[in-house]
Structure 1
Amino acid sequence: MPTTREALLNAAQEALALLPWPAVRMVDVASAAGVSRQTLYNEFGSKEGLARALVRREADAYLRGVERALAVRSDAAGRLVSVAEWTVGQAAARPLLRALLTGCWGDRLPAPRPAPVRSRVLAGAPAQRRADAGAPAPGELLAAVRERSRAALARAGGDPGAEVCELAVRLALSYVVAPGVPEESGGPGLEALLRGLLGVSATSPTAEVR
């Protein structure tokens, strides 16, 4: 069963799927979560605080997914392909994540600035103090994925280098911004393109990044 905080964030996420953020009302979010509006304000402080928490949760969920993707395949190139495919698929389905990865927010989405330092100190929940510090910029997310990828590959017995890991993430981001030609229409596909750039045959399941 979700906590009150998670229930409120879920309700806000559902409202955002239907309405632009300026039209999302705190009273409606509280009602959908089955709590009072005062409880909502106690948890997040303000609508801006709720927005910061939504964006922070999206970034955290993405990075947890990256770690899961890194465990899907055994070869180094395959792990990086999994991360790239996860990134592209999730960004296509989740507008908030796409905005986090590209820095392009638009009018429908919340784009909260970090809370003033004094407000962060006074925030009750540790999770809210962390959210109030602000969402990671695209470059920070890229660096976090690169370092997670490199650490996972090193634990598996190989370190292709930061440059290779960053290349994989940047290729994925290029597909987020400008989707490639589908394979059925003659496009090379993300996996084939990524393996080609990394110098690994797409037909070799055990090949390592050179």
Structure 2
Amino acid sequence: MPRTGPRVPYQEAARELLRTSVLDAMRELLTERDWSKITLGDVATRGGVSRQTLYNEFGSRSGLAQSYALRLADDLVDHVHSAIDGNVGDVRAAFREGLGGFFLEAAADPLVQSLLAGEVKLDLLRLITLDAGPLLEHATERLAVAFQHSWVGASAAESAVLAHALVRIALSYIPTPPAPGRNAPADLSDLLSPYVEAILAARELS
């Protein structure tokens, strides 16, 4: 049966496969030992590629970590987007479900666990603080599309504001998890939902 949809160029498909294989290999290694004890050579060997290929694609150890962190940012977008689709008309439930799923998954991620364990790892910490620009931009752009092209129906400007706030706040919870007894998804839902509810109310009046 013929495949439908646009054909992905071979080079693009091959590069995506390479990046996925390498990042999966990095995740496997992180379940075995701390990030501080993992070298690019270790990742290359586990991923079945040469060190030169790894350097060509990621540039450095920091570049590799940033690519892994971008995948975490994509997880945030995917969780929230899926929750929006699954909770039509109920923004509070969508935020609680989407953020709850992301926080649970992030807490179990081996890179996040490595960040929070042992001595401070400034290179990882910078990825989601001082050097978080690429993550914020990438996730904000993707999530804004979800708010704009869903039942939320926010304008481009409104979507950008909402997405940027959600992504920035959600990522800030990674290095500083909420205190015991705090329900972060519910708290953030209470904070962000009125903005969406105002958008929906204004649309009904127009």
State the TM-score, normalizing by the size of structure 1.
0.55
Partner of 1:196: 190
Change in Cα spacing, 1:209 to 1:166, as seen in structure 2 (3 Å) is: farther
Give the alignment partner of residue 19 of structure 1, picking from 33, 39, 44: 33
Partner of 2:154: 159
Change in Cα spacing, 1:146 to 1:45, as seen in structure 2 (3 Å) is: closer
Partner of 1:171: 169
CA-based RMSD: 4.3
Paired with 1:181 and 1:112, the residues of 2 have a C-alpha distance of 22
Partner of 2:75: 65
Partner of 1:148: 142
Partner of 1:91: 106
Give the alignment partner of residue 131 of structure 2, picking from 128, 132, 137: 137
What's the CA shift for 1:152?
0.8
Could you tell me which runs of 5 or more consecutive residues in structure 2 were left unpaired when the two chains were aligned.
1-15, 199-206
Give the alignment partner of residue 54 of structure 1, picking from 55, 64, 83: 64
What's the CA shift for 1:199?
4.9
What's the CA shift for 1:40?
1.7
1:180-210 deviation digits (Å, cap 9, x = unpaired): 344xx4x4x223212322355xxxxxx9522
Structure with the larger helix share = 2
1:88-138 deviation digits (Å, cap 9, x = unpaired): 3343223545899xxx9707x77999xxxxxxxxxxxxxxxxxxxxxx931
- 1:65, 1:86 within 8 Å by CA — same for their partners in 2? no
- 1:91, 1:176 within 8 Å by CA — same for their partners in 2? yes
State the TM-score, normalizing by the size of structure 2.
0.56
1:64-111 deviation digits (Å, cap 9, x = unpaired): 3234221223344444444433443343223545899xxx9707x779
Aligned residues: 168
Percent identity over paired residues: 23
1:209 aligns with 2:197: yes
- 1:91, 1:97 within 8 Å by CA — same for their partners in 2? yes
The amino acid that maps onto 1:92 is A
Partner of 1:116: none
